[in-house]
């Protein structure tokens, strides 16, 4: 399964991010806590460069809590402030502005020493599609201003929003890189919904997800789909056939695949993290 997706508005957004960077004090980089590394756009490091940054691991409620802590520590070890939030329910949102103030503390103290009156923090929010940028911004500004949708590609233009008196936010469209050199990364992104489903073969994606969950979260998988240890020992194709029949879909494997993927994304199978820190440690640059 080869996954590639780079709509034209994303190329334009990348240019706009570069142009607008000089107008902001800090970059808020939003990643999906279920895949904190795979949901980072590697182009952002070269675009953002030395601009102060806060990494937000969003959808922390859907991710493995043990992995959440490992990945937060990873980002902090790299020199970034990092917080874990659930923007859908608003949990952890109150950490964001204080974290930004901490990152910018020295700069703001220098400005005050020069007699410059404190201004609202100007922040740019960046991230790949479907990591929850619009939901997060709506929480911060306490209004439903930014468009939201549980699908990639909802935000297609930049807009400034006020988060009270403390922060002005610049939203940007989700930006993916032009192609995935690592197809494993592409599959992970597809499982969480960062790539439009009509670009995928959902049955292939479901087999990948079943294999992953069977390896790392077998008890959750068994509980959700009433499977036994013997069932999990079967090839994933046979597991899919079994779940299809258990759900009363007869031979409609496409329908069963769509259901399974949606339930995985919504956390109905349990909390999971696709980027396993211990397994990826060798390729990380701590």
Pair 145, 262 in one domain: no
Residue 21 inside a domain? The answer is: yes
Pair 163, 253 in one domain: no
pLDDT in tens, 23-45: 899 999 999 999 999 998 877 78
Q: How confident is the model at residue 134 (pLDDT cuts 50, 70, 90)?
A: confident
Total-model pTM? 0.88
Q: Tell me, what's the pLDDT at 156? A: 43
Q: How far is residue 98's CA from residue 75's CA, in Å, rounded to a whole number? A: 18
Pair 71, 12 in one domain: yes
Tell me which residue has tokens 């991230």.
127
Residue 176 inside a domain? The answer is: no
Pair 93, 28 in one domain: yes
Pair 92, 44 in one domain: yes
Pair 163, 242 in one domain: no
Residue 194 inside a domain? The answer is: no
Pair 140, 224 in one domain: no
Q: What are phi and psi of 181, to 5 degrees?
A: -65, -30
The CATH number of the domain holding residue 255 is 1.10.1580.10
Dihedral, 51, 54, 59, 63 alpha carbons, nearest 10: 100
Q: For residue 36, how many other CB atoms are within 10 A of its CB?
A: 27
Range of the domain at 264: 201-283
Residue 177 inside a domain? The answer is: no
Q: Which residues contribute to the annotated binding site for GTP?
A: 58-61, 86-87, 130-135, 174
Q: Which residues contribute to the annotated binding site?
A: 58-61, 86-87, 130-135, 174
Residue 182 inside a domain? The answer is: no
Instruction: Give how far Cα 2 sits from Cα of 5, 174, 205, Å.
Output: 10, 21, 11
pLDDT in tens, 56-88: 999 999 999 999 999 999 999 999 999 999 999
Pair 126, 22 in one domain: yes
pLDDT in tens, 146-188: 544 444 444 445 677 888 889 999 877 666 565 566 788 889 9
Pair 166, 206 in one domain: no
Q: How confident is the model at residue 253 (pLDDT cuts 50, 70, 90)?
A: very high
Pair 39, 155 in one domain: yes
Q: What are phi and psi of 35, to 5 degrees?
A: -150, 70
| Helical H segments across the chain, by residue range | 8-20, 43-48, 65-77, 96-103, 105-113, 133-141, 183-192, 202-216, 218-225, 229-232, 236-246, 253-265, 277-280
For residue 30, what is the enclosing H or E element? strand 26-32
Number of domains in the chain: 2
Mean pLDDT for the chain overall:
86
pLDDT in tens, 186-228: 899 999 998 878 777 899 999 999 999 999 999 999 999 999 9
């Amino acid at each position: 399964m080869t996954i590639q997706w780079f709509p034209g508005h994303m190329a334009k957004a990348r240019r706009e991010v570069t142009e607008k960077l000089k107008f902001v004090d800090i970059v808020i980089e939003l990643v999906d806590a279920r895949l904190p590394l795979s949901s980072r756009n590697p182009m952002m490091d070269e675009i953002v460069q030395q601009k102060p940054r806060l990494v937000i691991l969003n959808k922390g409620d859907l991710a493995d809590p043990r992995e959440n802590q490992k990945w937060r520590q990873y980002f902090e070890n790299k020199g970034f402030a990092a917080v874990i939030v659930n923007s859908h329910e608003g949990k952890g949102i109150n950490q964001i502005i204080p974290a930004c103030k901490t990152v910018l503390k020295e700069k703001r103290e220098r400005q005050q020493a020069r007699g410059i009156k404190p201004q609202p923090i100007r922040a740019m929010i960046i991230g790949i599609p479907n990591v929850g940028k619009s939901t997060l911004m709506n929480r911060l500004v306490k209004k439903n201003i930014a468009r939201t949708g549980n699908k990639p590609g909802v935000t297609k233009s930049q807009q400034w929003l006020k988060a009270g008196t403390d922060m002005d936010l610049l939203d940007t469209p989700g930006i993916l890189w032009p192609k995935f050199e690592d197809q494993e990364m592409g599959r992970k992104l597809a499982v969480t919904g960062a790539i439009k489903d009509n670009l995928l073969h959902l049955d292939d994606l479901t087999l990948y997800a079943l294999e992953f969950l069977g390896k790392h979260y077998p008890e959750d998988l068994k509980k959700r789909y009433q499977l036994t240890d013997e069932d999990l020992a079967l090839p994933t194709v046979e597991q899919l056939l079994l779940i299809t029949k258990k759900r009363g879909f007869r031979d409609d494997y496409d329908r069963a695949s769509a259901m399974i993927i949606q339930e995985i994304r919504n956390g109905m199978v349990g909390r999971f993290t696709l980027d396993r820190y211990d397994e990826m440690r060798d390729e990380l640059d701590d």
